[in-house]
Structure 1
């Protein structure tokens, strides 16, 4: 039996790892990209291979390199000779005061959060046949009033929402393109309990989510054959209070 192949960028840690695990559980062979998480990638690949008898190709690339997205897609084709689903989960979110943002900070956010997803979609579109699916992991913050310490992240993720809509129209009807915009599903390592409580004050469901909430949304978009160009909010309703 020929298995379907899913490529997950940032697929070795946090939400990306949950996505890699979920596709393996569904019988996909996995192309697991990481930037600098080799140990986590090797451990997760061994786990998925043992648990689900799938094949896992690990690809290390810094997506700030403009040619990296094409190399990631080519690695998938070299190993499996097909590509069915791409989930672009890799991103950078660096907290900086307005006055402390440097040109390098801005360039890295733009390169990883916006340029890399575009060229990953471009390369994937060449590789996919009719029925291919691309899902971008965006951010619920993208539609909010400006966050003063996340300006490069927020601006690039806002642009990613528009990019999804534009590319979805261009690639229809053969390839569907959507996005999931998570809220607080996995707190940053440096987020204090007080900051978490302040954030949840504006969430109508009054709790944080989990990576599984993102996984469910991604698989809905993979399976929903009449959905393209959609940014699906998975934020506990926080977007209602903008």
Structure 2
């Protein structure tokens, strides 16, 4: 049986790792990209190869380097001679007051959250098999106010949605492009219980999400051949109250 190939950026830890694991469970060969988590990536690769009999290529690239996305795709094609799904999960979210954001911090956020996803799509479009699928990670915060400490993150994630709309039309009908906007899936480690409860007051489903909620959305879009250019919100309905 010819196995399909998935590439997941930022996949050594947290939600990215859950997404990668889900592809291995479905029999995909994998390209696991990480920026600076070599031990986590190596451990996950061994786990998936042993548990599911798939091949896993680990690629370390700093997405602040403008040529990194192309190298990631080149490595995938060199290893597997095929590419079916690309999930752009790598992201950065730095908390800074409006007054203290520096040009370097802005540039880092823009490079990882917006520039890298664009050039990953550009490179992937040349390599993806017909019927291929690209999924970008947006963020529910892109549509909200009241978070002045996250302006670079919000702005770049809002731009991802427009990027997906434009590129989806350009790459159709051969390749589908969609985005997922997760809500609070994995709370920041320093989030207090009071802050969590305050956040949940605006979530109709009255709970935080889990990585599996995002995983389910990913595979829904992978398996939905008549959906492109869509932003799928996985936020427990929070957008209804914002």
TM above 0.5, yes or no, is yes
TM-score by length of 2: 0.99
Deviates more, 1:145-154 or 1:76-85: 145-154
Q: How does 1:174-189 map to 2 (within 5 A)?
A: 174-189=174-189
Is the contact made by 1:24 and 1:30 (CA closer than 8 Å) also made in structure 2? Answer: yes
**Secondary structure in structure 2 of the residue aligned to 1:225:** coil
Q: How does 1:42-81 map to 2 (within 5 A)?
A: 42-81=42-81
State the Cα distance separating 1:201 from its structure 2 match: 1.1
Q: State how far apart, in whole Å, the 1-side matches of 2:101 and 2:217 are.
A: 33
Q: Is 1:128–2:121 an aligned residue pair?
A: no
State the Cα distance separating 1:146 from its structure 2 match: 5.0
Q: State how far apart, in whole Å, the 1-side matches of 2:174 and 2:228 are.
A: 11
Count the aligned residue pairs: 242
**Secondary structure in structure 2 of the residue aligned to 1:86:** strand
Gap runs ≥5 in structure 2:
none
TM-score by length of 1: 0.99
Is the contact made by 1:184 and 1:235 (CA closer than 8 Å) also made in structure 2? Answer: yes
Gap runs ≥5 in structure 1:
none
Partner of 2:19: 19
Q: Is 1:89–2:89 an aligned residue pair?
A: yes
Which of structure 1's runs of 4+ aligned residues deviate more than 2 A?
none
Q: State how far apart, in whole Å, the 2-side matches of 1:108 and 1:194 are.
A: 31
Partner of 1:167: 167
Q: How does 1:115-154 map to 2 (within 5 A)?
A: 115-145=115-145, 147-154=147-154
Q: State how far apart, in whole Å, the 2-side matches of 1:195 and 1:74 are.
A: 43
Q: Is 1:226–2:241 an aligned residue pair?
A: no
**Secondary structure in structure 1 of the residue aligned to 2:86:** strand
Partner of 1:207: 207
**Secondary structure in structure 2 of the residue aligned to 1:233:** strand
